[in-house]
Amino acid sequence: MALQAPEGTKDLLPEEAKFWTHFKAVATDVFGRYGYEPIETPVFEQTDLFVRGIGEATDVVSKEMFTAISGENLKKLREGGTVKAKSRLSLRPEGTAGVVRAVVQHDLVPQGAAPVKLVYAGPMFRAERPQKGRQRQFNQVGIECLGAEEPSVDAEGIIMLMRFFATIGIPVESTALLVNSMGCDACRPAYRDAVKAYMDAHADELCDECKRRAEINPLRAFDCKNPACAAVMEHAPKITDHLCDDCRDHYDAVKTYLSGAGLSYVEDPKLVRGLDYYTRTVFEVQVTEGMGSQNAIGGGGRYDKLAEEVGGRPTPGFGFALGYERCVLALEAAGCEFPATQACDFFVACVDDSVRAEAFSIMQAFRDAGLTGDMDHQGRSLKSQFKLAGKMGAALVAVLGPDELDRGTVTIRNMRAHREREVEIAALKNFLSCFGGEPYGAPIPNIDDVFGQLEVE
Ligand code: AMP
């Protein structure tokens, strides 16, 4: 059997790949208006970065990370040797840790500087059990803002994300925005102890995993999908009853900004999200219908300790990531139309092989002008070339035969108006040469102007 893509991965075939490109462009445009600039970091990092940043006890790090290892190091391990920490690598399960590492490494927020605002897009890798909306390689777009702890950053980020969803076509009324505060080093330890005490008191109702969580990371139990655990955790102490004054003020200010911007949100004190680095604001956007259990299309929060965890100076931060594949599912669930694919302007058809060289040169003239199209590359019959041009939706077909070539002409057919006219090749090339060219970005003729100029309207 022919080889297949690995389980949990998905090829983005041309239509989907074009939509991914469009999706990234819209995100970069919307986020760019808020001052976010692009950054690209490696798809693999030292495993330690994720262990220290995301937290060893999280599912993402303890179970779902893909390790990357060179052949040489694999051999060493098989022979009972060890590899240095810097050679222990993992594919990134999320984008924040790598971006924060880059910010620290390149000192992008020097003392006293304005916050740095960054946007990234690319694949993430998690060894999860694949299902609809849950893949092992998936694409995220995310932003990170480092260097400011004001609640306005959190609110602006959430507002910007909701604006992006609306711009890409996900109806706001089909989403729910959940918000919570995770507290800080001052108030969370006491809260964690309260949750642990509560879990200990209900230990016989919890699954084995949650019993283990109670010991190492009790707040993770809020994410447990086991219905019995969910029922127990429903009545667990609420973080919002344990916030210190500073965290409460910060949380209140975020909510005031959101309300002021006209956004409705639901406070969910059980929202803890799967990663350890969050402090204060956390939020998630869910699609309310048609997505099943994998309905979170984006989420994030504040991480004021992360820069220190990865070895930098204290630098507050806020960020979010949204899942591309889940957004596509949300768009499909909402019955949204995907943008039409790029129009095809021209097709150059050859009557026989003797005219191929000149046909190629005419095609180049169209392309140099910036128009979109092609010619036959398989020696097809004229009839089948017309069929192909029709399938491609070409607005114009330039037909070249030996007689025309002798006369220095080519027949231009307007496929929409069903009109055609023989024009001089030199005149056509001369007209087209006024457009496009170097550098890219010069004006491109409208196909109707081409017909007008050549009088085949
Ligand atoms: P997280 O980093 O877990 O907060 O994820 C951010 C967003 O990425 C989620 O809201 C999802 O939309 C998406 N996402 C996370 N994990 C997966 C996955 N395994 N497959 C597809 N999308 C995912």
Helix (H) or strand (E) holding 327: helix 324-333
The Cα–Cα gap between 170 and 168 comes to 6
For tokens 């024009």, name the residue: 423
Compute, in angstroms, the gap from residue 329 CA to the centroid of ligand 1. Answer: 13
- Domain end: 304, 333, 362, which one? 333
Q: Which of 125-139, 255-269, 324-338, 394-408 is predicted least confidently?
A: 324-338
**Ligand 1 atom showing the smallest separation from residue 285 Cα:** 10
Per-residue pLDDT tens digits for 226-239: 999 999 999 999 99
Mean pLDDT, residues 118-126 taken together = 98
pLDDT at 437: 62
437: domain CATH number is 3.40.50.800
Atom 18 in ligand 1: which residue has the minimum CA distance? 134
CA-to-CA distance for 232 and 206, rounded, in angstroms?
A: 8
Atom of ligand 1 nearest to the CA of 321: 6
Two tokens, residue 82: 């060890």
Report if residue 142 sits inside a domain: yes
Same domain, 259 and 318: yes
For ligand 1, the distance from its centroid to the CA atom of residue 322, given in whole angstroms, is 7
Q: Residue 360 — very low, low, confident or very high, per pLDDT cuts 50/70/90?
A: very high
Look up residue 430 and give its two tokens. 């001369």
Residue 194 lies in a domain: no
Least reliable range by pLDDT among 273-277, 313-317, 396-400: 273-277
- Residue 429: pLDDT over 70: yes
- The 3-state DSSP composition of the chain as helix, strand, coil percent (nearest 5) reads 40, 20, 40
Q: Does 45 share its domain with 183? A: yes
Show contacts of 80-89: CB within 8 Å, 24+ apart: 85/46, 85/47, 85/48, 86/46, 88/46, 88/47, 88/48, 89/44, 89/45, 89/46, 89/47
Q: Of the candidates 333, 360, 381, which is a domain's last residue?
A: 333
In a domain, 262, yes or no: yes
Is beta strand 175-181 parallel, antiparallel or unpaired with respect to 266-267? parallel
Q: Are residues 133 and 257 in the same domain?
A: yes
Same domain, 165 and 135: yes
Question: Ligand 1 pocket by C-beta < 6 Å: which residues?
Answer: 94, 126, 128, 133-135, 138, 140, 274, 296-299, 321-323, 325-326
Residues constituting the chain: 457
H-assigned helices in 134-261: 151-168, 188-201, 208-216, 227-234, 245-260
Residue 126 CA, closest ligand 1 atom number: 19
Q: What is the CATH number of the domain that holds 129?
A: 3.30.930.10
pTM: 0.89
Give the three-class secondary structure for 434: coil
Identify any residues that bridge with 123 across adjacent strands, giving them in sequence order. 139
Structural domain total, the chain: 2
Last residue of a domain, one of 301, 333, 365: 333
Find out whether 283 and 158 touch, Cβ atoms under 8 Å: yes
Ligand 1 centre to CA of 194 (Å) is 29
Reported as a single tens digit per residue, the pLDDT across 366-385 is: 999 989 999 999 999 999 99
Q: Would 448 be classed as within a structural domain?
A: yes
pLDDT of residue 108: 97
Whether 182 and 159 map to the same domain: the answer is: yes
Binding residues for L-histidine: 94-96, 126, 140, 144, 273, 277-278
Note every long-range contact of 76-82, with CB atoms under 8 Å and residues 24 or more positions apart, other chains counting.
Answer: none
Q: How far apart are CA 176 and CA 166, in angstroms?
A: 13
> For residue 150, is it within any domain?
yes
